[in-house]
Amino acid sequence: MLDSVRNLRTSEIELRQGLPELECNWLVGQLRAKRGIADAECGLRRLVVEYDADILDSTDLVEFLDACNVPVVSVHAARA
């Protein structure tokens, strides 16, 4: 968790394919360990990621997921 979040944003990321539970857990751990990520949750073919927009943006998230070999279909601002 971030010590002082100033510009918290939430994105819902649609994945090209679903991930098995162990891979979801691994990916959430990788995201939570990344600087600027406040929280992450993995569901069926989607991720919900809370992040500090002063540090990261949705493009950074997609690039990180691509580096983890997790193809992304689309990114949307999460509904409140």
pLDDT at 1 over 80: no
What percentage of the chain has pLDDT greater than the value 70? 91
Q: Is 10 helix (H, G, I), strand (E, B) or coil?
A: strand
Q: What is the pLDDT of residues 57-68, one digit of tens each?
A: 999 999 999 999
Q: What are phi and psi of 51, to 5 degrees?
A: -150, 160
Q: Are residues 63 and 6 in contact, defined by beta-carbon separation less than 8 angstroms?
A: no
pLDDT digits (tens, 9 = 90+) for 24-63: 999 999 999 999 999 999 998 999 999 999 999 999 999 9
